[in-house]
Amino acid sequence: MNRGITRLALLLSIAGAHALAQSSNQSPAMSPPPLPDTSRIQDEMHHAAAPAGPLKITFGEKATEWTSASLAALPHTTITVYNEHAKANQTFSGVPLTDLLTPMGVPAKPRGKDFRLYVVAEGSDGYQVVYSIGEITPDVHDGTVLVADQIDGRSLGNNGMFQLVATGEKRPARWVRNLVGIRVLTAQ
């Protein structure tokens, strides 16, 4: 058995040395093509418009689903924020996240154990961010977390039907394009 393993190792060594000798004797015209710029490809994949459907919000056993039409029927709030990626101020219109959560039983004025609640927002591309209940509640925090359906007076375009946008942040790292899911969970 030991001799079989030794022979196999010897054969693999010879094959590897042969392949190395052939690759070093190749002419420049036969060299393999350069590897693609993966950072550019990853950036294009991140910015490619992923198909987005309705927005599903869950809290415990409760679930609601929002379409463009159903969200458009609600009273809207408008915020203007600086987008570091676009290097410009942008005006978003939509519904404050708390207005979508309180009818499901999420407290509008959290107290005590309510502060264990947190929100996981997800885009259709799988990108996820977390906000604590205090960060999305105007009773506690000055910022606004908005489920936007318009930017600068028009649809969101490649950002999907909905985009989660927040004021008071230095950069849009927790904004979620193509927003399709929001889960309210409890920390243990």
Position 66 scores a pLDDT of: 97
Please say if the pLDDT value at position 13 is more than 70.
Answer: no
- What average pLDDT does the segment 50-62 reach? 86
- What average pLDDT does the segment 68-74 reach? 96
Q: Beta strands of the chain (E only): which ranges? A: 55-59, 62-66, 77-83, 88-96, 117-123, 128-132, 145-151, 163-166, 179-186
Please say if the pLDDT value at position 134 is more than 50.
Answer: yes
pTM check: above 0.85 = no
The pLDDT tens digits for 91-131 are 999 999 999 999 999 999 999 999 999 999 999 999 999 99
